[in-house]
Structure 1
Amino acid sequence: MHSRRERATKIVATLGPASSSPEKIKALFEAGVDVFRMNFSHGTQADHGRIYGIVRALEKETGRPIGVLADMQGPKLRLGKFVDGFITLTPGTTVRFDSDSAPGDAKRIPIPHPEILEALHEGSTVLLDDGKVRVRVAKKGRGFIEAEVVAGTRLSNNKGFNVPDVVLPVSSLTEKDKGDLAFALDLGVEWIALSFVQRPEDILEAKELIQDRADVNLKLEKPAAVEHLTEIIELSDSIMFARGDLGVELSLPELPALQKRVIRESRRLGKPVIVATQMLESMITAPVPTRAEVSDVANAVYEGADAVMLSAESAAGQYPVEAVAMMDQIIKQVECDPGYRAIIDSQRPEPGHSIADAVTQAAYHAANAINAAAIVTYTLSGTTTLHAARERPRIPIIGIASRLATARKLVMSYGVHVVHAPEEIHTFAEIASKATHIATDQGFAGPGDRLAITAGVPFAQPGTTNVLRLVTIEKKAEKSKPDSSAATSHKRAAAKKAGGTEAAVKKSPARKTAARRSAGTRRG
């Protein structure tokens, strides 16, 4: 069974107590999940290992690659305890913070993080309990600070706190994270999500530990990271715009514009981007979302995100499958809107200057010119397919990956229907035969339809995308013949000028299919 999604934008869903059985995970996949997230802030390693085994068994059963993202907890900054379990605060009064482990009271709040106290300075803002309590540092002494209560009236044991305007001397990976990281890598996950990233050095530290065994997903949730946005996106392999913690530390009205900026920059750099947190929050307890939540998901799709994500909705909610199905329906509805394609095309980034960029641009334009049924990318590392996804084409991308790990990673990318094909390829004719067989077998094309195929020569070498060929599918899928037109000749010349690209084409019948994809509704 090769489940095919009739949409381009992907769905990431978090697994948890409400979605940990084989039956429920299969139901989530059938409802539309493309990538499953394991949140290491909750559950044990044994729990995650069991869930991972279920996902891989499902992958084998369905015959379709499934991505798995392991989300590291990161440093959780929490207060100590209080004598009575809570305290009452009055705005305008002053309270002392220190690292003494003794329970606190209304005049003293324990913070068991002396390095945090050291990093704060007069004027620093500290947000407690997800911003419900706000204080401002008025005085700093040796091992303590005194802060004025700006807002909030109640604080209880072990609540978290945030320091939005200070880069803290804390690694994004705790000792717990390092143990979880080693466990996740041994399982074989494709993606490691990093929490609490503040600086480019945090990503480099993680990559040193990961050693190419998985790709890095940057969780953008700290204002300090926003200051290095382009650099940290370049260092990462994908991005998660995590609006929960970011919304605590930034002013809420700043989030929508920042979301658009992050999606644009990620697309420009060819990195998959996920929009996450509270997307269908009300469906934790209700069978339908609010109108505002539907608009929120739709806006992320209109902005060109690769994927949208469910957190507690699918992990701990009462309606996990319904939440996925709702998200699937919203995405499909947006992508059928005639205005959607105009918006996506208007945001296409400037082309790059490499040979791979030239080939991908040529494939995009040639596919449009000949009304191709699909763009087919044959890839080892995934780079060829990521170049194609960056263009956000109106037609599906069939990503043929020779490595299973690559196939699983590409599932996150916009518009890509991934097929794992481990067979050795020696000639472009073999690629064309494989592409036409997959396209017809999985319902993307039929006799007379055309495909734009990109690959790299020599084969089985990453980063060598340098060939574009256009083929017309004959009655027998295993045979294909190159296609030709004035438009494709122009693309061949353009690609050759850009970097010696080969775009081999020959004459073929100019056949048109009845259900042409002019509205861009056929998706992989």
Structure 2
Amino acid sequence: MSRSLQFFTPSRAPYLTLHKLPSTSYTRFPVINFPSKKHYITITKSLSSDLDAASSQVLDSGNGQTGVSGVLSADNVVAVQSHAPSESGAAAGIEVDAVTEAELKENGFRSTRRTKLICTIGPATCGFEQLEALAVGGMNVARINMCHGTREWHQMVIERVRRLNEEKGFAVAIMMDTEGSEIHMGDLGGAASVKAEDGEIWTFSVRAFGTPRPERTINVNYDGFAEDVKVGDELLVDGGMVRFEVIEKIGPDVKCRCTDPGLLLPRANLTFWRDGSLVRERNAMLPTISSKDWLDIDFGIAEGVDFIAISFVKSAEVIKHLKSYIAARSRGSDIAVIAKIESIDSLKNLEEIIQASDGAMVARGDLGAQIPLEQVPSAQQKIVQLCRQLNKPVIVASQLLESMIEYPTPTRAEVADVSEAVRQRADALMLSGESAMGQYPDKALAVLRSVSVRIEKWWREEKRHEAMVLPDVGTSFADSISEEICNSAAKMGKNL
């Protein structure tokens, strides 16, 4: 994978350091310095049915407040746990992560899981206790989606994440995701979601409605919506999660019949198809970064977020312009720009967009609304592979564990999907509705963590390090020699 460990560690969050350990002794570890705390690490014997007979050493922390513990196995795998004593003095175990012994010596008890986990923060997870639970469960990045909520609400979330890092010693970064200028639904009258049933008639309108709004009526943010659609067009909501057929146009109102039922979410993206083809002429005329997006970007710069993700990127020029804007507005800022690949235009200009950005996100939901569904897996693999070749971090997002919005366990197909993203060496996996408004955000995060850790362990055990063709960086003869020396040194360090 590319620079996942460094990239998804925020510069503003405290680092949890561990001094180098003696290579010959495992009876007493040095002190781990957490903010305002000291953790003494000792080793005891343990029997575990989940590990082989060679797994005999257990790390344990006796700081009296919170700590870590883990199992040292024969292949140097450490299963790390965080625990706090109960009132009776017994430790209650909460699984946190899995690291190797060598990584533990070098990096301390920061998360050294290769695949980083991003959680979208929403009504279900915006409280301080909920954020702490996600951080304990392995959240590396908290994502705020500017499609939803007010700037005051997002500022509150950012302050809580900062407080979490300062008081609890976590290192959670913050990613701000812009809304983009594509066609969106409006809010649903304050409702978190609304179910559209098969055969129901819904009205999509550009009119502004008072409170209460008419039943089964949805606002659209694009004034020319009623003019552009035609009777018989197919309307896709949120990348095809719900589908409607246009049956009538009455002034600014468009009457539609639900053909594929599903859950409608506020500010969901809208696309429409005609005669089997995506109608995209109007979207192509819209700017990538809207006036609202620029205000949100100013907000993100002022709040010092770690990443800004730009929706519906069409060309590298947009990324370059935004980077220049950030540099001018905040000198010395290290805000990284993530390009969201979610449109046909993004795929056409993929390499130049990734080259210009600091990382990419495979937004499969909206991408699946613009290309045939059967092409999404190959598009994902192409994007991930190109990012690895260009040494840019890549995030796989959208509908990873969609069923866990309502159910406590994922489908087996979802687990296979997550494992495939890890096998492709994606740097990060992202939860959207699962953590923002789902009923089981902690469990969804636990599934991502356990699956990614298991696949990474399998990958190490099988030593599956496939060859990858990297692009030439050097342009002169001297640069080419330096590049070959660096490549040889990297291969020696990896294989010897």
**TM-score (norm: length of structure 2):** 0.60
Correspondence for 1:68: 174
Q: Matches of 1:21 and 1:89 in 2, distance apart? A: 36
* 2:275 pairs with 1:166: no
Correspondence for 2:343: 222
The number of equivalent residue pairs is 357
Per-residue CA distance 1:235-292 (angstroms, 9 max, x = gap): 2111110111112222211111111001001111111000001111222222221111
Does the 8 Å CA contact 2:269/2:366 hold for their aligned counterparts? no
Does the 8 Å CA contact 2:206/2:225 hold for their aligned counterparts? no
Per-residue CA distance 1:306-327 (angstroms, 9 max, x = gap): 1111112122222222221221
Correspondence for 1:383: none
Q: Matches of 1:99 and 1:6 in 2, distance apart? A: 49
Q: Matches of 1:153 and 1:19 in 2, distance apart? A: 27
Secondary structure at 1:346 match in 2: coil
Counterpart mapping for 1:60-99 below 5 A:
60-61=166-167, 63=169, 65-78=171-184
Q: Matches of 2:206 and 2:398 in 1, distance apart? A: 32
Q: Matches of 1:315 and 1:261 in 2, distance apart? A: 28
Q: Matches of 1:292 and 1:229 in 2, distance apart? A: 28
Does the 8 Å CA contact 1:238/1:272 hold for their aligned counterparts? yes
Secondary structure at 1:304 match in 2: coil
Secondary structure at 2:120 match in 1: strand
* 2:115 pairs with 1:15: no
Q: How many Å apart are 1:129 and its aligned residue? A: 3.2
Correspondence for 1:436: none
* 2:147 pairs with 1:44: no
Does the 8 Å CA contact 2:135/2:170 hold for their aligned counterparts? no
Cα 1:64–1:147 shift into 2, 3 Å = closer
* 2:401 counterpart letter in structure 1: L
For residue 159 of structure 2, the aligned residue among 53, 63, 71 is 53
Q: How many Å apart are 1:72 and its aligned residue? A: 0.9
Q: Matches of 1:88 and 1:25 in 2, distance apart? A: 34
Correspondence for 1:301: 422
Does the 8 Å CA contact 1:284/1:312 hold for their aligned counterparts? yes
* 2:480 pairs with 1:350: no
Q: Matches of 1:150 and 1:12 in 2, distance apart? A: 33
Does the 8 Å CA contact 1:67/1:190 hold for their aligned counterparts? yes
Q: Matches of 1:55 and 1:303 in 2, distance apart? A: 30
Per-residue CA distance 1:49-83 (angstroms, 9 max, x = gap): 122122222223455543211011112514799xx
Provide the alpha-carbon RMSD of the alignment. 4.4
Correspondence for 2:235: 127
Does the 8 Å CA contact 2:390/2:471 hold for their aligned counterparts? no
Per-residue CA distance 1:381-402 (angstroms, 9 max, x = gap): xxxxxxxxxxxxxxxxxxxxxx
* 2:307 pairs with 1:191: yes
Counterpart mapping for 1:212-251 below 5 A:
213=333, 214-251=335-372
* 2:385 pairs with 1:261: no
Q: Matches of 1:110 and 1:26 in 2, distance apart? A: 36
Per-residue CA distance 1:13-65 (angstroms, 9 max, x = gap): 11122212222212211211111111111122122112212222222345554
Structure 1 gaps of 5+ residues are 82-86, 91-96, 104-108, 138-142, 371-524
Per-residue CA distance 1:434-469 (angstroms, 9 max, x = gap): xxxxxxxxxxxxxxxxxxxxxxxxxxxxxxxxxxxx
Counterpart mapping for 1:268-417 below 5 A:
268-338=389-459, 342-343=463-464, 345-350=465-470, 352-354=472-474, 357-358=483-484, 360-370=486-496
Q: How many Å apart are 1:201 and its aligned residue? A: 3.6
Cα 1:27–1:158 shift into 2, 3 Å = closer
> % of aligned pairs identical?
32
Q: Matches of 1:39 and 1:112 in 2, distance apart? A: 17
Q: Matches of 1:274 and 1:310 in 2, distance apart? A: 11
Q: Matches of 1:331 and 1:223 in 2, distance apart? A: 29
Does the 8 Å CA contact 1:165/1:223 hold for their aligned counterparts? no
Q: State which drifts further: 233-242 or 206-215.
A: 206-215
Q: How many Å apart are 1:111 and its aligned residue? A: 7.1
Secondary structure at 1:19 match in 2: coil
Counterpart mapping for 1:412-427 below 5 A:
none
Q: Matches of 2:462 and 2:158 in 1, distance apart? A: 36
Secondary structure at 1:180 match in 2: helix
Structure 2 gaps of 5+ residues are 1-33, 35-107, 188-195, 211-217, 273-277
* 2:469 counterpart letter in structure 1: P
* 2:325 pairs with 1:209: yes
Q: How many Å apart are 1:198 and its aligned residue? A: 2.6
Q: Matches of 2:342 and 2:363 in 1, distance apart? A: 5
Correspondence for 1:378: none
Cα 1:126–1:320 shift into 2, 3 Å = same
Does the 8 Å CA contact 1:3/1:62 hold for their aligned counterparts? no
* 1:35 counterpart letter in structure 2: V
* 1:7 counterpart letter in structure 2: R
Counterpart mapping for 1:438-449 below 5 A:
none
Q: How many Å apart are 1:298 and its aligned residue? A: 0.3
Secondary structure at 2:118 match in 1: strand
Counterpart mapping for 1:445-464 below 5 A:
none
Does the 8 Å CA contact 1:32/1:324 hold for their aligned counterparts? yes
**TM-score (norm: length of structure 1):** 0.57
Secondary structure at 1:308 match in 2: strand
Does the 8 Å CA contact 2:198/2:258 hold for their aligned counterparts? no
Q: How many Å apart are 1:183 and its aligned residue? A: 0.8
Cα 1:56–1:126 shift into 2, 3 Å = same
Q: How many Å apart are 1:165 and its aligned residue? A: 4.8
Correspondence for 1:407: none
Does the 8 Å CA contact 1:125/1:165 hold for their aligned counterparts? no
Cα 1:360–1:294 shift into 2, 3 Å = farther
Q: Matches of 1:123 and 1:364 in 2, distance apart? A: 60
Q: Matches of 2:442 and 2:186 in 1, distance apart? A: 38
* 2:391 counterpart letter in structure 1: G
Q: Matches of 2:165 and 2:261 in 1, distance apart? A: 50
Correspondence for 1:5: 111
Q: Matches of 1:17 and 1:50 in 2, distance apart? A: 12
Per-residue CA distance 1:309-358 (angstroms, 9 max, x = gap): 11121222222222212211101110111588655x22523253345755
Q: Matches of 2:408 and 2:261 in 1, distance apart? A: 34
Q: Matches of 1:124 and 1:236 in 2, distance apart? A: 39
